[in-house]
Structure 1
């Protein structure tokens, strides 16, 4: 498979040159650039820095799939500031020739015994519409990730219908719908052609039933039916990238020896190429 990418999330502190070097060494064809000064790609970059970034990646044949922003709309106070930040990132995405900007919706919650405020759904819809309208002028899409209160295909299908913007699409993070007991068959059937990008990872439930999130593992060592997901996405006509989102920065179980990008990235490429070879048979 040639449509393999990685999020630069675990590469905080690296130079762009170092990220490009590992991408080419491993055989990736695209990079999902995390936005922020720690990752060398920021909405504060001047136009020359943006042009230089594009040039460096184009010289080695790498695509920028999207900008991984941390923007999150909840429908409450703070959304206006988030929208302002989104506008800056959308302009960055346009200058870097990226197809979309990843956004989150709702509240992050790791445990069932932790409470979060109720979302303001109508205002979230309005915020996403405003983001889409601005992004459209930049020729960029808004990619909502399967996460939080919108982790399932069921919840996102309704949101997409209510937002009613052609440039609003979905990042299918394959672990989060499973955490909400929605099968890959249902997620993919519900979202279909609106899936613009896929976040690859693997994991299994924690023993503690209060944990909402699954425990992450190396790809191929968890309980996510990856081969089945690949088959279903292929049948649905999905043509985007399969991007490894390796959350070393957030997940303690990945902050151990043997989980570094230098080890995990080539193993991911090998796993995916072997799996796709089997799929093709």
Structure 2
């Protein structure tokens, strides 16, 4: 299985340095956090996008995902959400990234959030397909479980709309990995892994040092599924730095895959 990690764990680091870390430690791809202060964002000019794509080619690393902060089920008018998603779709296409990540971020009414998300996704699904990009909705917040996300995806039946399985959130929803995979498999883009000490302490830990059922999750996956390590440095300033852990994280994941 190809392995990636998210630039979320290295906030503000120059892209050439992050690409070097990926290549040096055997990671084939990067999830690109698209946000303020990051080297990849929707404000890049055409020339900057071409230069960024060339950096990936030179490093032989795949730009796996443009990780947006679009809330596809967020209450409110559709137009700002659609405009934001469209900008990220074009960014992904310009960089050669196959995916754009979105969050659900629905309100208290999950069913209404599902309807809102489906309406918006279907508005842009053909455009995404024309650009060669798939929108992946992450198991998160209002649709934390695979069961909830599967209902959302069923309401948006388009090949350019899929799922990103964040193992932490399905675990927090008390959903066994086998159930999560079964529900998401028909539309699964890839899987995010991480590790934590407990539901009450989500400070990032080295892979294998916490309580998440990573072995059980990885055991479900076909051999061509991307696995990406997401390390949430910005929200946990006491967490150990990611870069020194990349070698051990790669060894841990390859050990799981060897089983």
For this structure pair, what is the TM-score category when the shorter chain's length is used for normalisation?
A: over 0.9
TM-superposed deviation, 1:95: 0.8
* Number of residue pairs aligned between Structure 1 and Structure 2: 257
Aligned pairs for 1:142-221 within 5 A: 142-206=135-199, 214=202, 216-221=204-209
Tell me the equivalent position of 1:256: 238
- Indicate which of 229, 232, 239 corresponds to 1:244: 229
C-alpha distance in structure 2 between counterparts of 1:270 and 1:60, whole Å: 21
Is contact 1:146-1:172 (8 Å) kept? yes
Other-structure match for 2:254: 273
Q: Distance in 2 between matches of 1:50 and 1:71?
A: 20
Between the aligned partners of 1:161 and 1:224, the Cα distance in structure 2 is: 28
Within 5 Å, give how 1:1-281 maps onto structure 2.
3-107=2-106, 117-119=108-110, 120-121=112-113, 122-206=115-199, 214=202, 216-233=204-221, 237=222, 239-250=224-235, 252=236, 255-256=237-238, 259-277=240-258, 279=259
Deviation at 1:57, TM superposition (A): 1.2
Indicate the larger mover: 119-128 or 158-167: 119-128
Secondary structure of the corresponding residue to residue 65 of structure 1: strand
Q: Give SS of 2:64's match.
A: strand
Q: TM-score, normalised by structure 2?
A: 0.92
Q: Describe the SS at the equivalent of 2:96.
A: coil
Shift of the 79–216 alpha-carbon distance from structure 1 to 2, 3 Å rule, reads farther
Deviations 1:37-57 (A, max 9, x none): 411111111111111111111
Q: Displacement, 1:6?
A: 0.6
Q: What TM-score do the two structures reach when normalised by structure 1?
A: 0.85
> 1:199·1:243 contact (CA, 8 Å) conserved in 2?
yes
- Which residues of structure 2 form unaligned runs of 5+? none
- In 1, are the aligned partners of 2:20 and 2:59 still within 8 Å (CA)? no
Q: Is the CA contact (8 Å cut-off) linking 2:108 and 2:142 kept in structure 1?
A: no
